[in-house]
Amino acid sequence: MKKSRNIRWAALAATAAVSTAALTGCGGTGGTGGSADPAELEGQTITYWASNQGSSISMDEEVLGESIDRFTEATGVEVELEVIPWPDLYNRILAAVSSGEGPDVLNIGNTWAVSLQSSGAFIPWEGDALEAIGGQERFVETSWATGGAEGQAPTSVPLYGLAYSLYYNTAMFEEAGIEEPPATWDEFIETAKQLTKDTDGDGEIDQWGFTLAGQRVSNNAHQAFVRGMQNGGELYTEDGQPDFTNDGVVAGVTQWLDLMDENGVVDPSNAEFTDGSQLPPELIDGRAAMMFDQAAGKTFAAAEFEDFGVAPIPMNSADATGKEGTQSHVAGINVSVFANSDAKDAAIAFVGHLTSDEEQKTLNAAYTSLPVVTSAMDDPAFDTPEMAAKKVTYAEHSQPMPLFPSEGQMETLVGEAIAGLFADIAQGEEVNEEDVRAALEDAQAQMPAS
């Protein structure tokens, strides 16, 4: 190839090839499988994508591996397990949905349930499939409600129940002479300020009242929801239209940001934190005194850290109820079966196994999460202070995240907007309510039309 013209064409072809970010895939859906005779399942193999629930991937492999062994022994079905870290799970699911090539069974964050339901990629839990897992009545009502949009057969089944709690370092509280965890938001700020100090006298603060992950998008969105509700605002109108800029939501988000900005009780370096797993070490190492988390107990246990207490998330007023009394969204993990699965009956049987009374006790005790079936709720394993606090929040002070198909986009856009504001604050900018409103307005403008 001597001539320059050929080189030009080759270069242009290379340009085209290199520059295109192509999105490919093929789709397809199938019907719901039914309950099957266990003998018919023997010899089948299914794949299972589990979310990372333990303090490490290896912990998940150990806990779930034992559960899978029990299932294989009972049914003869082999299960190929893959534990997927949270940052990757959402994209892996999307890729599986778009290509039609996914696992047979997979875990999803329950706030994604309605968004993923609208893709049509998962079997609806009704008829024989629902019967195979023992029917809807077995499940805690709040948990079951997260499985899909209202009025439609859910496409995911609850697996682990979670709720946000306030975790605090009891040794630091004791040292500061604080006897009780704060119950109201004002008390919380005061307590956090009391715990924010320079302990070694070098003129720099080295102990902070509170820690958060400023770049963790989902957590920011959850706090926008909770703090918005406490201030009388909701992220969607009743007919499913995004409404991020109402006064309640703006006030709630401002409260969350002010922890770093106006109140100064959060280390600005937290604005770089991208992962919730970065928070427990802050309490363990004495760099921060309080944090919000859904199930930090297992991480503290793995680190043999015992100086921690658990309390409900502070509210604007201690006796708030209803919307204003929201302390957490109904958090948790659901499990779905791919409609494209070649082994639907085995997959449904496996979901039945994971949600059975015994497995619910074992798995949730290991993950310090709540069982989602009523019969397991009273097990002594869930009477620890951490679990008891979570149970009250879950039953009395939790509201499901908005059950609309665009919830997934909402979490991303609102969470990113808040992450950007945390970055501004960390770099010394002052952020007021108008800045918050403008950032949320920008996020709302990017939402897909309903």
- Chain contacts with another protein (rule: CB under 8 A): 1-5, 7-8, 11-12, 14-29, 87, 91, 94, 97-98, 100, 115-116, 118-121, 215, 217, 267-269, 271-272, 274, 405, 408-409, 412-413, 416, 419-420, 423-424, 426-427, 442, 445-446, 448
- Considering the complex, state which of residue 182 and residue 276 has its C-beta at the smaller distance from another protein: 276
- Considering the complex, state which of residue 5 and residue 306 has its C-beta at the smaller distance from another protein: 5
Tell me the two tokens of residue 258: 């002010």
Give the integer Cα–Cα distance in Å for 217 and 77.
38
DSSP 30: -
Residue 22: exposed, middle, or buried by beta-carbon count in 10 A (0-12, 13-18, 19+)? Answer: exposed
Task: For residue 9, give the H/E element and its range.
Answer: helix 4-19
Tell me the C-alpha to C-alpha distance, in Å, between residue 264 and each of 150, 193, 289, 345.
Answer: 41, 8, 14, 55
- The least CB distance from residue 415 to another protein, in Å, is 9
- The least CB distance from residue 155 to another protein, in Å, is 11
- Considering the complex, state which of residue 11 and residue 318 has its C-beta at the smaller distance from another protein: 11
Q: 3-class SS at 302?
A: helix
Give the integer Cα–Cα distance in Å for 122 and 10.
44
- The least CB distance from residue 198 to another protein, in Å, is 16
- The least CB distance from residue 7 to another protein, in Å, is 6
- The least CB distance from residue 380 to another protein, in Å, is 40
- What length is written for the chain? 450
- Considering the complex, state which of residue 16 and residue 39 has its C-beta at the smaller distance from another protein: 16
- Considering the complex, state which of residue 43 and residue 120 has its C-beta at the smaller distance from another protein: 120
Task: Kindly give the interhelix angle for 357-367 and 57-75, rounded to the nearest 10 degrees.
Answer: 170
- Considering the complex, state which of residue 290 and residue 425 has its C-beta at the smaller distance from another protein: 425
- The least CB distance from residue 117 to another protein, in Å, is 9
* Contact partners, residue 66, CB within 8 Å, separation at least 6: 362
DSSP 242: B
